[in-house]
Structure 1
Amino acid sequence: MMKVFKLLPFLLILIITSCKKKEPIFTGIIPQPNEITYQKGSFEMNKSTIIVVDSTFEGKKLTAELQSFLRANFNLDLKATSENQDNAIQLILSDEDEPEGAYGLTIDKTGVTIKGGTYQGLFYGIQSLKQLLTPKSAVKEPVLNYVTIRDAPEFGWRGMMLDVSRHFMPKDAVKKVIDVLAMHKMNKFHWHLVDGIGWRIQIDAYPELTKKGAWRKVKENKKPWEDFEVTEENADEEVYGGYYTKEDIREIVAYAKDRYIDVIPEIEMPGHSEAALQCYPEFSCDTKDITGVYCAGNDGTFQFLENIISEVVELFPNEYLHIGGDEVGKDSWLNCDKCKIRMQEENLQNGEELQSYFVKRMEKFIHSKNRKLIGWDEILEGGLPERATVMSWRGVVGGIEAANAGHDVVMSPGDPLYFDHSQGKSEFEPPSWGGYNNLLKVYNFDPIPTAIEADKRHHILGGQANLWTEQIETLNHVQYMMLPRLTALSEALWTKSDHKEKEYFKEKLDFQLDRFQDLGYNFAGSAISPNYEVSYNKGNKVFSLSLFNELDLYDIRYTLDGSEPSMESKLYSAPIEYASTIELNAQSFRNGKAIGFPLIKMFSTGFGDQATITYTNPYDETYSGGGDRALVNNKFATARGDDPNWQGIPKKDFEVVVDLGDAKELSFVGLNYYQDIGATSVMLPTHVTISISKDGHDYKTVLNGAIETVEEREPIIKKIEANFANQTVFYIKITAKNRGTLPEWHLRKGDAWIFMDEISIK
């Protein structure tokens, strides 16, 4: 029976063994081993400790990694031998029939013994040993508690995808991503090398793919995918791009192999292929424009792709090749004479069946190269090739369908495994894309939905996070979006569900953050940043502000005078009650230092239950923000168009009158407006007026100003604030002028929207 010791029992063990001069430090292992038992006693490494290992090439590589780690962390320069002895770290390749990646780790009076049926298992055992000896801030001496671990991964596919098409990542940056995967015992690196706006892999048969397809023109006020146009590296205009030579690819594949990680290349088809088709337009449909979809009626298209795949498989020795297959716009096929002929010849009824023909034809060729085709769940449309593996990203429905039909599946749903999505709700979060995937949502991920039939569950190979890079240009940002969410995913995919303990994971995560710091990794403090809830007591007309963070870890300190919190600021311990407007600045602190982002908000009290809001033009029910009191509910929207706290009006002006219900002495009125040209039709108003009144008839204007048009694509929250001499106010009128229709330069056509949120007063 597995025994999992949490922090309190382990501290008791430390008390029992306190006669030892040096005590082992509890740090925990991530992902959580499936069997772990601690015993009394401890072993201390010293200069006489020997590494016992076989003399094979792989054994020597593992030894070198362990020696380097001990030298860097404890100044121990340990020798290696193949002869067994006490006071040793033994790396033993056993002949037992064990699951892939399984290992055993024993620490007793003779030293450390790591056993594995494969060198991969030994590698994972070393990763666990390294975690028992880190971080440096906690583990000062190489002292280890006696322990017995028997461990193996629950799922065979534990991966992450990195998109290098939108933004090229240098070779060394890719290696650092692989390092992060390795420390978490992940074993698949899905490399998104090809997409519509960038071709990143050298192909000798088609040199234009990297001579031009790897480079794009940089166009002012346009995202890379807007009016995309390939160019050459040495073009006169500003260009952006990069690619990997075949030697680069071999180097990275070998680097990953040394860390027991398979590299799965993705060569996108039949859609998302603008870069390739601008280089070789003869493989586009015979329509007016190059649409980014390969012509399915042209046999030359298939020869082109087969030639590419023939070169790709020589570089990537692992069994899978990813073809993409998602979001294929089929209009060009339906308007293409060659594709129409193909459909007639093959008796295909629609675009979905033509896509199925395309995928099945490519699968036969990929199979002939001793590789397995894997694609996004759209390859289900029209009929799935018999041997294909599905990567389910549009939720889990496609994965359920494929698994129940007998196909292997990798679960990779956008919610919660798209790591390009935001992981925190702070206004200070770096740019992200899509929805909101917080840390514990990732931790709770289960790759096997209950809808999968019991005898088909073995078809779920595992899971994978995806990191698309529309908004991510640097390794620093990549690491921020990965960490610590990858830590949570590693435990979701490695550890049996009934052996996971969320509270224990949070304790271990504290040490993991220090490991990241030691390694120089940039991690997100989103799960630690303060968040809030406001409640209102109608009886005594007092508001109550609760502060918390996702992990319920660390101190939160705050000020109410607008100053920046410090360790001397008030410690949050109970809800803050207030009857007049407060200006909160709250910050989480870890080990005496601020961590995560601050929470800086003005919480108003003038909008008790007696206040009412009258709208001249009604808000759209789809974007209600929560209803008639959405603008005065002390819930602030974030810089995301899908935040449910935004209230939206299309085409018409925003005009409201706020009846405060009784007299207020005010000197400030403010509210927020939103704009996101890159992803929505929401634009800032062109003009805003704020007026106040005692009787609801005669109004005094306290702000009347035009709003500058901003053409940048990034989301904007525009704070409109009116400061005026203190006076008695019963009514507030706010008018914002909608521009009506979107300007010519906008990405979209049609009605402009105004989004607004949260009126503040003091």
Structure 2
Amino acid sequence: MKLVKILLCSFVLLMIGCGEKENPSFTKEDLVLIPEPQSIEINNGSFRVNTETKLIIPGDSIKPLTNILNDLFEKSAGFQMAVSNESAEDNFIQLKKNTELAEEAYELSVATNQVLLEASSRLGFVYGLETIRQLLPKEIESASKISEIDWLIPNVEISDAPQYSYRGNMLDVSRHFFGKDYIKKHIDRMAFLKLNTLHFHLVDDQGWRIEIKKYPKLTEVGGFRVDQEDTHWNARTENEPEDEATYGGFYTQEDIKEIVAYAREKGIRIIPEIEMPAHVMSAIAAYPWLSCTGEPIAVPSGGVWPITSIYCAGKESTFEFLEDVLTEVMELFPGEYIHVGGDEATKTNWESCPDCQRRIREEGLADEHELQSYFMKRIEKFLNKNGRTLIGWDEILEGGLPEEATVMSWRGFEGGWEASKQGHDVIMTPTSHLYFDYFQGSPDHEPVAFNAFTPLNRVYEFRPVLDSMTAEQKNHVLGGQANLWSEYVPNEEHSEYMLFPRLAALAEVVWTPENKLHWQDFSVRIQKMMERFDIMGINYARSAYAIQPDSEINLETGEVTIELKAEFPDVEIRYGMNDSELSANSNIYKEPIKINSNSHLKAAVFKNGEIMGPILDKDFQFHKAVAKPVTYKYSYNDNYKGGEEKGLVDVLRGSKYFKDGRWQGWINNPAIITINLEEPTEINEVVVGSLEEQGTGIYFPQKIKVEVSKDGKTFEKAGEITREFQNNTSAKIENFRIGFDTQNNIELVRVTVEPLEHNPKGGGSWLFLDEIQVK
């Protein structure tokens, strides 16, 4: 009997062990869901997907949605689940209609023998299937078959629905054109994150990207520009109408139909943007009669400011043209909304245009602002007559809002606040949080971007509604949208880099209940999600891993204190000094680092022995002029003071971001700086640090002269260098070295730095300096 009991116990233990192996359990830390669901409960065990698993659907109209999972399984597992309308006893994933759920809501119940996904609409099923996708091992994203892996879905109960109905992303395909396949790939990734709106910016000054059959020149002429891609966007020169235009592209109407149909299957609506009355130089280049002057122009290759070449609001032919264009656009895009821009129109030409002035008089308008309001209201009436709703940027508030317009608030939250007060629907897309053409980390490690910052945690801080809003105003806030303008985004790889992982942060804050939004928790999940992004082939930014140094010098003692941190909290930072290699065995950063002599610092975030992001690589050069008195013949600009009087001799160096507070700037004057060494000193070299960013008018100097004095009165030239102008597409720091024969007993050093005399675009040239080293 004793032997029987022992054998029975062994059998029971064996079966329990097998059960645990067949259906292992998971913890919350194992789940990587973005956006975080409304509610989730984790139970013991898991469901295993295998070749016998069936997908049960309520009707054939839902069948295309099963590809969300089956396309992945076919590539990564080598099989597809059979799809059926008939029920099964076990080993199935069932999609079931539940009309009591809201349109975008879903409920997901995973047990060991079955998965039940309930929703009332296609959208709910899409979001539930994307959640199942995220619950599966990250290897499900593999483009090739993976062996020896268990395709397990943790046993969970999820009840989920979005907080906001509008969860969007704007892609600008005008400034740089992106092909149809990339747009479809991006739609897939939006669906993965439960975003539901692609705002398609198809028209701008630099390119018209949608075929309009009645006006073929819009794409034949307006779709192409002179190739100046080797020059910074804002440093490009004006084109002539007869210049050869080779850069560009456009979508045929068949392309648009394919993209719209593809997006619908992924639960994504597409809102086209057809800009007016400004940002339309591409249209005017094709049909000059659309402007007030009728003069031929070229499609610009780069930045234009102010934007004065705009549609003439006085001619009836302008409105006939726009109604024709919008008619074809509405046939291609079946959704409710049409975006018509309305931003940044400089009305100089309207002020002198006889047609526009006649319109103002005949319509009893006060001024050109009311003329724009007239323009927008007239377009709105046409759209409303065709069952559509107009969306415009917040400038459409000026002069009076169209009656039923929805406002997209980009210049902060104020436009959205005012529009909601007037009873209009609002989409929040403020530059402060949701402009993804901004840097997401230090420009020292980032590709070219607009000169402002939107780091990952800043996106996560975004909330569409304001505390100062009334309950009625809050009801008018539809949600939020991230904008990726493409002036500085020349290719698809760069586009992905600017979008991810920031798009995931937006997706969570517009889906997840506010009381469940926690940066600490999200920062853990997004780091794990990046592992899935790797398999998905997304070129995402690792900027949140970048070391952010904060350095200061004690000018009395000459000691520099360096603090290190990263955007992600609680990460492992390791550093090496001077000749030591940076590795997993380097010092762990625990407290500020102090130095008082020449030092070379390297630091990075490590995880499991691997470097996770950009390496901080910084020199601290202590030279003979550190903390010495400095005088200026021409003072630096009040907006760019650097470290003020001793900012050029404080060891601390500026970054590629000209607004970082380290740089001293001059315009319309040379920089003439005299350093008092305070005692007779032997020197043989001066090094001048300078920044160039041609797009903002900052240029390297064209000449640097060094003079020295032994008595404080008489100066002699010690050395001089000159340089020729060169095109430069990005921010760059250069240390200009002026070497000379050794000079003894020198007390004063005078450095004259002359700015670029002839700015290629005209106007003055900024000169930016930081640190003058005397050696």
Name the TM-score, length of structure 1 as normaliser: 0.90
**Distance in 2 between residues matched to 1:182 and 1:142, nearest whole Å:** 22
Match among 762, 766, 774 for residue 748 of structure 1: 762
What pairs with 1:316-355 in structure 2 (closer than 5 Å)? 316-355=333-372
Contact 2:224–2:245 (8 Å) recurs in 1? no
Farther off after superposition, 118-127 or 350-359: 118-127
State the AA in 1 paired with 2:435. Y
Q: Give the distance between the partners of 2:398 and 2:732, measured in 1 at CA.
A: 38
> Cα offset for 1:567?
3.3
Name the CA shift for 1:666/1:345 in 2 (closer, same or farther; >3 Å). Answer: same
Does residue 684 in structure 1 map to residue 700 in structure 2?
yes
State how 1:224-303 maps to structure 2 within 5 Å.
226=236, 229=239, 237=244, 239-286=246-293, 291-303=308-320
Letter in 2 for 1:20: E
Label 1:512 to 1:219 Cα distance change in 2 as closer, same or farther (>3 A).
closer
Per-residue CA deviations over 1:529-561 (Å, capped at 9, x if unaligned) read: 112012446797643212221113543333322
Instruction: Give 3-state SS (helix, strand or coil) of 2:449's partner.
Output: coil
Deviations along 1:117-168, one digit per CA (max 9) or x if unpaired, are 2121111111112112232399942233322111111111111111111111
Matched, 1:169 2:178: yes
Q: Distance in 1 between matches of 2:649 and 2:31?
A: 46
| Aligned residue number for residue 12 of structure 2 | none
Q: Does 1:709 align with 2:725?
A: yes
For 1:726 and 1:405, how far apart are their aligned partners in 2? Answer: 74
Pair 711,236 (structure 1): closer, same or farther in 2 beyond 3 Å: closer
1:720 match: 736
Give the 3-state SS of the residue equivalent to 2:138 in structure 1. coil
Q: Which moved more, 1:304-313 or 1:104-113?
A: 104-113
The answer to whether structure 1 residue 492 and structure 2 residue 509 are counterparts is: yes
AA partner of residue 556 (structure 1): I
Question: Paired residue for 1:577, among 574, 587, 594?
Answer: 594
Determine helix, strand or coil for the equivalent of 2:328: helix
Matched, 1:482 2:491: no
Which of 64, 69, 78 pairs up with 1:66? 69
Deviates more, 1:164-173 or 1:130-139: 130-139
Size of the aligned set, in residue pairs, is: 739
Render the CA deviation track for 1:644-699: whole Å, top value 9, x for unaligned: 3221122222122344668999887534212233222x322222235677876687
Contact kept, 8 Å, 1:213 with 1:230, in 2: the verdict is no
Query: Where does residue 11 of structure 1 map in the other structure?
Result: none
Amino acid at match of 2:639: T
Q: Give the aligned partner of residue 13 of structure 1.
A: none
**Alignment-derived partner of residue 40 in structure 1:** 44
Once the two structures are overlaid, the 10-residue window that deviates more, 552-561 or 142-151, is: 552-561
CA distance in 1, matches of 2:253, 2:565: 50
AA of the residue aligned to 1:653: P
Name 2:113's counterpart in structure 1.
110
- Between 207-216 and 139-148, report the one with greater CA deviation: 139-148
1-structure distance, mates of 2:149, 2:707: 64
Q: Among residues 189, 196, 201, which one is paired with 2:205 in the alignment?
A: 196
Summarize deviations over 1:711-762 as a string: whole Å, max 9, x none. 445433222245789999986735233247x52x62232x333111234578
Q: Is 1:150 matched with 2:159?
A: yes
Aligned residue for 1:688, secondary structure, equals strand
CA 282–592 in structure 1, closer or farther in 2 if over 3 Å, else same = same
1:611, CA displacement in angstroms?
Answer: 3.7
Deviations 1:251-302 (A, max 9, x none): 0111111111110001111111111112111121137676521111100100
Distance in structure 2 (CA, Å) of the matches to 1:695 and 1:546? 41
- Indicate yes or no: 2:124 matched with 1:121: yes
Measure the CA separation in 2 of the matches of 1:38 and 1:412.
35
Whole-angstrom distance in 2 between the partners of 1:582 and 1:150: 56
Match of 2:84 in 1: 81
* Residue 561 of structure 1: aligned partner: 578
Deviation at 1:53, TM superposition (A): 1.8
Inter-partner Cα distance in structure 1 for 2:644 and 2:127: 53
Please, which moves more after superposition, 425-434 or 29-38? 425-434
Q: 1:224 to 1:645 in 2, by over 3 A?
A: closer
CA separation of 1:712/1:19 partners in 2, compared to 1, >3 Å: closer, same or farther?
A: same
CA shift in 2, pair 1:385/1:691, >3 Å = same
Superposition CA RMSD, Å:
3.1
Mean Cα deviation higher: 432-441 or 67-76: 67-76
Q: 1:426 to 1:724 in 2, by over 3 A?
A: farther
Listed one character per residue, the Cα deviations across residues 36-70 of structure 1 (whole Å, up to 9, x for unaligned) are 12223333333333222223222x11222212223
Aligned-partner Cα distance in 1 for 2:688–2:118: 63
State the TM-score, normalized to the length of structure 2.
0.88
Per the alignment, residue 9 of structure 2 pairs with: none
Counterpart Cα distance in 2 of 1:498 and 1:731: 64
Secondary structure at 1:295 match in 2? coil
- Structure 2 distance, partners of 1:38, 1:82, is 29
Pair 133,722 (structure 1): closer, same or farther in 2 beyond 3 Å: farther
Pair 664,400 (structure 1): closer, same or farther in 2 beyond 3 Å? farther
| Alpha-carbon distance in 2 for matches of 1:18, 1:353 | 76
Q: Secondary structure at the match of 2:482?
A: strand
- Partners in 2 of 1:121 and 1:146 — Cα distance? 20
Question: Counterpart of 1:543 in 2: which secondary structure?
Answer: strand
- Structure 2 distance, partners of 1:554, 1:507, is 10
SS of aligned partner of 1:620: coil
Q: Which moved more, 1:618-627 or 1:181-190?
A: 618-627
In structure 2, distance between residues paired with 1:637 and 1:538: 18
Partner of 2:433: 416
Alignment partner, residue 10 of structure 1: none
Compare 610-619 and 519-528 and name the one that shifted more: 610-619
What pairs with 1:403-482 in structure 2 (closer than 5 Å)?
403-482=420-499
* Structure-1 separation of matches of 2:449 and 2:516: 33
Cα pair 1:424 1:527 within 8 Å, conserved: yes
Q: Residues 18 and 665 (structure 1 numbering): CA distance in 2 closer, same or farther, change over 3 Å?
A: farther
Equivalents in 2 of 1:727, 1:692: separation in Å?
A: 8
Change (3 A) 1:140 1:361: same
Tell me the equivalent position of 1:390.
407
Partner residue in 2 for 1:131? 134
Shift in alpha-carbon separation, 1:416–1:477, aligned structure 2, 3 A = same
User: Within 2, Cα distance between the matches of 1:664 and 1:104?
Assistant: 78
Partner of 1:92: helix, strand, or coil?
strand
1 CA distance for matches of 2:345 and 2:369? 9
Name the counterpart of 2:668.
651
- Output the CA distance in 2 between the equivalents of 1:608 and 1:147: 66
Distance 1:664-1:73 versus aligned 2 partners, 3 A rule: farther
1:449 CA drift (Å): 1.8
Residue aligned with 1:596, SS? coil
What is the deviation of 1:391?
0.5
Identity of aligned residues (%): 37
Residues 17-53 of structure 1, C-alpha deviation per residue, up to 9 Å, x if partnerless?
9982245470320011111122233333333332222
Q: 1:277/1:535 Cα in 2 relative to 1: closer, same or farther (>3 Å)?
A: closer
1:703 Cα deviation after fit:
5.1
Structure 1 distance, partners of 2:163, 2:203, is 31
Range with greater deviation from structure 2 (154-163 or 426-435): 426-435
* C-alpha displacement of 1:190: 0.5
Taking a change above 3 Å as real, the CA distance of residues 752 and 294 of structure 1, as seen in their structure-2 partners, is same
Q: 1:592-619: per-residue Cα shift (whole Å, max 9, x none)?
A: 4433322222124569996432222211
What residue number does 1:185 align with?
194
The answer to whether structure 1 residue 54 and structure 2 residue 54 are counterparts is no
Do the aligned partners of residues 256 and 732 (structure 1) sit closer, same or farther apart at CA in structure 2, a change above 3 Å counting?
farther
Q: Residues of 1 paired with 2:598 and 2:709: CA distance?
A: 20
Q: Is the 8 A contact 1:541 1:608 kept in 2?
A: no
Q: Which of 694-703 and 621-630 deviates more?
A: 694-703
> How much does 1:521 deviate?
0.8
